[in-house]
Amino acid sequence: MNSSRVAIVILNWNGRKLLEQYLPSVVQYSQGDGVDVIVADNQSDDDSVRFLQENYPQVQIIQLNENHGFAKGYNLALQQVEADYYILLNSDVEVSPDWIDPMIELMEADSTIAAVQPKVLSWHRKDEFEYAGAAGGFIDQLGFPFCRGRILNVMEKDHGQFDQVTNIFWATGACMAVRANYFHKAGGFDSDFWAHMEEIDICWRLKNMGYKIQFTPYSKVYHLGGGTLSYDNPKKLFLNFRNSLWLLYKNLPRRKFYKVLMVRMLLDGVAAFKLLSELNWRGFFSVFRAHYAFYHSHRTLRNKRLELKKIAEPQWHAEMLCKSIIWKFYLERKRTFKEATR
């Protein structure tokens, strides 16, 4: 595959309808020298590949040999892509004119920036931030992610309140521009995550290595959300709870992790019984399966942590909130980023 300055890589699995709806904007607004649009197909059993071949001959296709999930699927695909910058883009994202340059220009101006995220708005409600990324990701002292513009499941309207370039803790996997050599230097995504929170994991790793993650409001995309798994899907719940614990174990200083784990056991138990009270039996068992999977994988995680320490020591960072977002949300009734981070 030819080397390019920017490679937009969309990972697809049975997403023919999504490609039909959202790919036209990507092709339309990604024209130019040195920009390639690539679809990496996770062994779809619909007609995604044929649809691309017949309708988008200018789009390059990487065909993987099975459904590897988000993390490993991207790792395998990006091993075949030569570019200075990758833009990882979900198949359910509509892009806008001039969406590429603001992200790339930030990284070209500062070699310490590893990744940049655009403003992510809802495709359904264009004036409202979208769950997966909003105006840049952060994390609280217990490992719960939140965003500027999104606290837990409450989204803010976009009034321009986040219209400034700023450092963030994590960039969303729904649309992330990342420096290719830094991505590989950090080891890529953790394939064991399968999907969900792998982007927070690699961003934390990159920050431990001394690099910055930034948000720019000058690039704007619109995300459908839940295009592969709905937000209350039992598999998604399992992955989110398990991967959150994996994330903390791998990246927090060891002594701090065990203090956090005690509180997380309690809060995750409360979440499980809340699901049970809603008669969501499968969700209830997903939480307990997640904790079992975490404890069962302790030896593997310990080995990973030792390997990662050869790259960089686990650290706490300025973009991590030294408060509980759960406390702020449920007990103090804070619903906006500004209120919750005071």
Distance from the first to the final alpha carbon of the chain: 49
Q: Which residues of 18-34 are buried (b: 16+ CB within 10 A; e: fewer)?
A: bbebbbebbeebbeeee
Between CA 260 and CA 144 the distance in angstroms is 11
Residue 253 above 90 pLDDT?
A: no
Q: Which pLDDT band, with edges at 50, 70 and 90, does 316 fall under? A: confident
- Weakest-pLDDT range from 62-66, 209-213, 312-316: 312-316
- pLDDT, average across residues 31-49: 94
All structural domains of the chain with their residue ranges = 234-340
State residue 226's pLDDT score.
67
Q: Which pLDDT band, with edges at 50, 70 and 90, does 249 fall under? A: very high
Which residues are CB-neighbours of 301 under 8 A, at least 6 positions away?
Answer: 246, 249, 250, 294
The answer to whether 226 and 183 are in contact (CB under 8 A) is no
Residue 244: C-alpha distances to residues 140, 190, 333 (Å): 12, 13, 24
The answer to whether 64 and 73 are in contact (CB under 8 A) is yes
State residue 214's pLDDT score.
98
Q: Which pLDDT band, with edges at 50, 70 and 90, does 127 fall under? A: very high
Give the residue, 254 or 8, on which the prediction is more confident: 8
State residue 233's pLDDT score.
84
Residue 92 above 80 pLDDT?
A: yes
Q: pLDDT digits over 271-303, tens only?
A: 999 999 999 999 999 999 999 999 999 999 999
State residue 2's pLDDT score.
52
**Adjacent-strand bridge partners of 222:** 94, 121
Dihedral angle over CA of 144, 207, 105, 26, nearest 10: -40
State residue 215's pLDDT score.
98
Between CA 284 and CA 272 the distance in angstroms is 5
The pair of structure tokens assigned to 75 is 């790792």
